[in-house]
Amino acid sequence: MAHTFRPASPAEQLPAYYQDTGDENIQYCFRDFDSERNFDLFDRQTREHKSSNFCIDFGEDDAFCAFDLDAQAYEKLFNSPRPTELHTRWINIWMPYNQKDLIRTLASHFDFTPR
């Protein structure tokens, strides 16, 4: 992936789930989606032409989002037990033909063909 979006400041308090992955991109890029400051940042990032993907984990009370994670970060997320309160994960991929490693990771995890 040519461009990685990294917020200017370290993440505020995140659930242990993200910290326990041991992945720096996950730990640094996931943010509280419900924070007005973060929401504005994410809203702008959806219109950024260099954005390649985003992931939102959410439940009834909380939501956390990250942009431009690589395939390795997604693999770590998939292999870590997600808290039950974050029962839904939305992954959006722009220009999947530029992210073949990520598509292969998703295909392997969700058992579909990467074609």
Delimit the domains of the chain by residue range. 17-110
Q: Rounded to whole angstroms, how far apart are CA atoms 9 and 109?
A: 31
Q: What is the pLDDT of residue 53?
A: 96
pLDDT of 7 higher than 90:
no
What type of residue sits at position 60? E
Q: Rounded to whole angstroms, how far apart are CA atoms 101 and 96?
A: 9
Half-sphere exposure (Cβ direction) of 53: Cα atoms closer than 13 Å = 23
Q: What is the pLDDT of residue 13?
A: 81
Q: Token pair of 12, please?
A: 């505020």
In the chain, the percentage of residues whose pLDDT exceeds 90 is 73
Model's pTM, two decimal places?
0.87
Average pLDDT over all residues of the chain = 90
In the chain, the percentage of residues whose pLDDT exceeds 70 is 89
Q: Rounded to whole angstroms, how far apart are CA atoms 13 and 74?
A: 20
